[in-house]
């Protein structure tokens, strides 16, 4: 985790708590450090999603914990996983020039990408991780409230953790890409826990595949 943090901050690994190291590298005060800590806790684990399962598969082969984290990072980078934060950033960029968010959101809905960062298949009533991050941010940001309200009115969907991380990144004034960095750092804790548990089980994850296509021509009777 500390090596991954060093990659994120550009500083040598240290012994201080992760959120404190982030705050020092990014020039955040105690309140900012607490926001980072909250984000890391909320993103630490999320059942057997794609990146968590990938980390377990890697660990089941006897590979190192670092290899398991690398596998998790590869899965997280996908546009349907942690890479959604980049799509949310692009969505936000398109709203910056408008006084009211609704017209821009309608244009996005007409495209193939929809509204990234809104809706989660596991949380039809709203992503509780996003709510834990966004609730305090919404109170002090009328523009953010308008954006969330407009998106919910148009889609009936509430913000996901990806949207919340981008909102936090913008509130703290962090560099673009930091939302994904926080997601990766927090989730690495879960990947390592999954990998350690998988190692203790001693089992190799090996799903079976059954061919269901047409039978080859000329097969003997």
Catalytic residue among 19, 120, 127, 194: 120
Active-site pick, 19, 108, 127, 162:
162
Whether 19 is catalytic: no
- Output the 3-class SS for the chain: CHHHHHHHHCCCCCCCCHHHHHHHHHCCCHHHHHHHHHHHHHCCCCCCCHHHHHHHHHHHCCCCHHHHHHHHHHHHCCCCCCCHHHHHHHHHHHHCCCCCHHHHHHHHHHCCCCCCCECCCCCCCCCHHHHHHHHHHHHCCHHHHHHHHHHHHHHCCCECHHHHHHHHHHHHCCCCCHHHHHHHHHHHHHHHHHHHHHHHHCCCCCCCCCCCCCCCCCCCC
Give catalytic status of residue 162 as yes or no.
yes
Catalytically annotated residues: 120, 162
């Amino acid at each position: 985790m500390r090596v991954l943090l060093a990659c994120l901050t550009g500083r040598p690994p240290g012994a201080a708590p992760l959120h404190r190291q982030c705050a020092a590298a990014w020039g955040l005060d105690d309140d900012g450090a607490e926001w980072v800590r909250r984000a890391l806790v909320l993103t630490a684990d999320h059942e057997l999603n794609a990146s968590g399962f990938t980390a377990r598969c890697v660990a089941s082969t006897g590979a190192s914990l670092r290899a398991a984290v690398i596998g998790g990072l590869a899965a997280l980078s996908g546009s349907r996983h942690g890479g959604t934060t980049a799509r949310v950033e692009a969505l936000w960029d398109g709203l910056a020039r408008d006084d009211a968010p609704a017209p821009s959101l309608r244009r996005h809905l007409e495209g193939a990408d929809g509204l990234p960062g809104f809706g989660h298949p596991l949380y039809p009533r709203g992503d509780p991780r996003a709510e834990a991050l966004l609730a305090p941010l919404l109170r002090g940001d009328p523009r953010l409230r308008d954006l969330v309200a407009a998106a919910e009115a148009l889609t009936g969907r509430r913000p996901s953790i990806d949207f919340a991380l981008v909102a936090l990144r913008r509130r703290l004034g962090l560099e673009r890409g930091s939302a994904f960095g926080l997601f990766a750092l927090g989730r690495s804790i879960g990947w390592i826990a999954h990998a350690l548990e998988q190692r203790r089980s001693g089992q190799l994850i090996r799903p079976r595949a059954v061919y269901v296509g047409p039978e080859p021509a000329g097969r003997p009777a």
